[in-house]
Amino acid sequence: MTYASTATLEDLAARIGAAETIVCTSHEKPDGDAMGSVMGLVRALSSSKRMHAWLLGSVPPPIAGLARDTEWVQIAGPEDIPSVEPDLIILLDTGAWSQIKPLAGWLADRADRVIGIDHHASGDDPAPVRYVDATAASCTMLVQSLLGVLGIELDVAVAEPLFAGLATDTGWFRQANADAAAFEAASHLLATGVDKDRLFREIEETARPARLSLVARALASVQWSRGGAVATMRLTRADFDQTDGRRSDVTGLVNAPLVVSGAELSVLLIEERDGGVKASLRSKPPATPGGPFVDARAIAQHLGGGGHVHAAGVSLEGPIDCGADAIAEAIAAVSV
């Protein structure tokens, strides 16, 4: 199946206009873009619609803080789903069934009421009516465009989560996806009065001491391959136990080896509590416009994962050594 738009933003705006009760949701373990998209849309529409924000799985505290005083429901499984029958369900920042497991059955039963907004290049069909633009740096950029179509003027309460999503998905405007369109969108959001310095502090500078211990262990585990172009790090369950660490303590850690000259791809393997391994992949943009680069998404897709060309991930079965072997084989298979 080709993952592409099946509707325009104008089509989605018409569906929103005809609805009274709307649920907004996104992928499990929401990041800044997922949370920002949900909160921005819920706040923008709350004056005229009955809005419900549903977040799936665990929500890192810095991300949860973006909600401010906007109410939301955490859904870990089908038993947590509120007894609401919405006119419309808006799925944001994902098009993958694998990323919405707590709601999968509920959404499938209401497919005629699900619309999607996404900026990923691959996905499935949980939102049959969807707008997809893989050139957008963040999903919040697409939400921002949708609000323009709806004729909703931005205020700081709406702009703040939209900016947070854009900033975090571009590495605070340092990554290759921080293009002219991203800066233009950011400019409009900042003009409403968004305090970017406060947001950075609240999102990026909230680590626990355990993070430093985990960073030390991950960096000590680095193994270089392909002539120094690929760095692979590991964190085991024992590492987390011995440092009192949490998964939220290693956010962004996968990027660390990319400061090394010659490094083009970084891989962080994390041993999951329930078995298996989560692999996160990050790569550098080309050294010159149009030049070669490592396609992290292609590597992840080879193993059943996905993401963006410079930031991707995949869940793997088996012990961490097998995960490392699988990643190495995928790298070789896509001719990195």
- Could you read off the pLDDT of 86-106 as tens digits, one per residue? 999 999 999 999 999 999 999
For the cut 60, the answer to whether the pLDDT of residue 56 exceeds it is yes
Q: How far is CA 210 from CA 84, 101, 234, 277, in A?
A: 40, 30, 16, 21
| Alpha carbons within 13 A on the beta-carbon side of 182 | 23
Q: How far is CA 246 from CA 76, 122, 228, 296, 317, in A?
A: 18, 29, 29, 25, 21
pTM for the model stands at 0.83
For the cut 70, the answer to whether the pLDDT of residue 305 exceeds it is yes
- Could you read off the pLDDT of 105-147 as tens digits, one per residue? 999 999 999 999 999 988 999 999 999 999 999 999 999 999 9
Question: Residue with structure tokens 């059955």?
Answer: 105
CATH topology (fold) of 9-204: inorganic pyrophosphatase (n-terminal core) (3.90.1640)
Residue percentage of the chain with pLDDT more than 90 = 88
For the cut 80, the answer to whether the pLDDT of residue 336 exceeds it is no
In the prediction, which pLDDT does 308 show?
84
In the prediction, which pLDDT does 1 show?
65
Q: Are 258 and 266 in contact (CB under 8 A)?
A: yes
Residue 290 binned pLDDT confidence (cut-offs 50, 70, 90): confident
Q: What is the mean pLDDT of residues 249-256?
A: 92
Domain ranges (residues) in the chain? 9-204, 209-333
Residue percentage of the chain with pLDDT more than 70 = 99
Q: Give one DSSP letter per residue of 251-275, joined into a string.
A: TTGGGGGGGSTT--EEEEEEE-TTS
Q: The dihedral of CA 71, 110, 135, 31: what is its sign? A: positive
Question: Please, which residues bridge with residue 150 across strands?
Answer: none
Q: Which CATH architecture has domain 209-333?
A: Roll (3.10)
CA distance 194 to 249: 26
In the prediction, which pLDDT does 298 show?
95
**Token representation of residue 133:** 């633009």
In the prediction, which pLDDT does 47 show?
95
